[in-house]
Structure 1
Amino acid sequence: MTALQETESRQRHVSFWLVACLAVLIAQIITEYLMGRTPICTCGYVKLWEGAVNSSGNSQHIADWYTPSHIIHGFLFFGLTHLIMRGKPLSMRLFLAMLIESGWEILENSPIIINRYRATTISLDYYGDSILNSAMDAVFMVVGFLFASRAPVLVTVVIAIFFEIFTGWMIRDNLTLNVLMLVWPVEAVKTWQSALGG
């Protein structure tokens, strides 16, 4: 095989996995639509950024305070696939990351997880993401994954820590606290988070 043929073969391989990633995202959108999720915010318009955490617009628009968590998902999935798929093409590893992220987005917007959030966290008015917000969560995961694939490990780690500290300071929530309160709720944390609105 010539160098040109190898390049063309590699490009076809990358294209295949990127199309597969897009197919996963489309499947996520269709699944959520069939689950009865609203396409966009019920307010009837789309915002680039929703900054109010305790509002009906949270998790309904393109980006919000939970967007950094999804970028960190991308960092983590890059690290995971680097460990378990060493030597495999980046595009194939991204496909696995998309499968995990889209699977979580579907599960997160199912009644069992929505009710869990409402029972164990301060998100009493949480009724799930809009399809737009959920799809963008997956897109931001891809952004994080691709960033981590290019950036030095230390830079990625520093950004992840910054995101966690900054969102924790701004809204008293972040990826770490979100997972903790979903899996093993701590009443002291819930009380501290509730004080944000006070």
Structure 2
Amino acid sequence: MTMTRTQLAIVAGIILIAGALLYAMGHPLICKCGYVKLWHFDVVSAENSQHLFDWYTPSHIIHGFLFYAVLWLAAPRLSFGQRLILAVLVEAGWEVIENTDFVINKYREATVSLDYYGDSVINSVSDILFMVLGFYLAAWWPVWLTVIVAIALEVFVGVMIRDGLTLNVIMLVWPLDSILQWQQGR
């Protein structure tokens, strides 16, 4: 789980470039409310995805688990640092793509995120850093613990907000009225 200074610099550079791209795309650095909260609890609000942590933070930790597993299997000869660079590149790329008008509108059409207008830069950077945390945890923990924590995070978030990584993917790829109605509390 060691990384060279060059690898750390590449990871930091990817994160900075993603933040700069998001800002250039018109996303605010911080919440338009003018302050930064550590945690924002209300999913159905203009401040969702605008602060450091929110209900979608666990999905980014799970991204780290998944990226570690896939890269460990697909590229076993790469060093930990090289695999982390690839994972950060994919996560940062997703953060930029997720915040395009096309994907934002898709979220608003197919999910309960009717007031979603994209992430703040600080939230997207935080999301990438939580993926990095998940990647490190997956490298450090035994597989069984990583799987149990991933399932527990998905179930917990699903119970708390009727959403999560799995539901988010389903609703973006194959929207189902039954899931949407359940998410809306019907």
What TM-score do you get using the length of structure 2 for normalisation?
0.97
Q: Which residue of 1 aligns with 2:168?
A: 178
Q: Which residue of 2 aligns with 1:47?
A: 37
Q: Please, which runs of 5 or more residues in structure 2 have no aligned partner?
A: none
Deviations 1:79-137 (A, max 9, x none): 01101110221011000000000000000000000000000001110000000001100
Q: Which residue of 1 aligns with 2:101?
A: 111
What is the alpha-carbon distance in structure 1 between the residues aligned to residue 15 and residue 74 of structure 2?
A: 23
What is the alpha-carbon distance in structure 1 between the residues aligned to residue 21 and residue 118 of structure 2?
A: 14
1:130 to 103, 108, 120: 120
What is the alpha-carbon distance in structure 2 between the residues aligned to residue 115 and residue 20 of structure 1?
A: 32
RMSD: 1.1
Q: Does 1:189 align with 2:183?
A: no
Q: Please, which runs of 5 or more residues in structure 1 have no aligned partner?
A: 1-10
Deviations 1:127-163 (A, max 9, x none): 0000000110000000000010000000000000000
Shift of the alpha carbon at 1:17?
1.2
Spell out structure 1 runs of 4+ moving beyond 3 A. Answer: none
Q: Where in structure 2 are the equivalents of 1:76-155 lying within 5 Å?
A: 76-155=66-145
1:165 to 151, 155, 158: 155
Q: Which has the higher helix share?
A: 1
Q: Where in structure 2 are the equivalents of 1:50-65 lying within 5 Å?
A: 50-65=40-55
What is the alpha-carbon distance in structure 2 between the residues aligned to residue 88 and residue 188 of structure 1?
A: 43
What is the alpha-carbon distance in structure 2 between the residues aligned to residue 150 and residue 169 of structure 1?
A: 28
Q: What amino acid does structure 1 have at the position aligned with 2:8?
A: L
Shift of the alpha carbon at 1:57?
1.0
What is the alpha-carbon distance in structure 1 between the residues aligned to residue 11 and residue 29 of structure 2?
A: 20
SS at match of 2:125: helix
Shift of the alpha carbon at 1:25?
0.2
Q: Which residue of 1 aligns with 2:12?
A: 22
What is the alpha-carbon distance in structure 2 between the residues aligned to residue 15 and residue 151 of structure 1?
A: 24
What is the alpha-carbon distance in structure 1 between the residues aligned to residue 4 and residue 149 of structure 2?
A: 28
Q: What amino acid does structure 1 have at the position aligned with 2:84?
A: L
Shift of the alpha carbon at 1:16?
1.2
What TM-score do you get using the length of structure 1 for normalisation?
0.91
Q: Which residue of 2 aligns with 1:156?
A: 146
**Count of aligned pairs:** 185
Q: What amino acid does structure 1 have at the position aligned with 2:126?
A: M
**Higher alpha-carbon deviation: 20-29 or 82-91:** 82-91
Shift of the alpha carbon at 1:55?
1.1
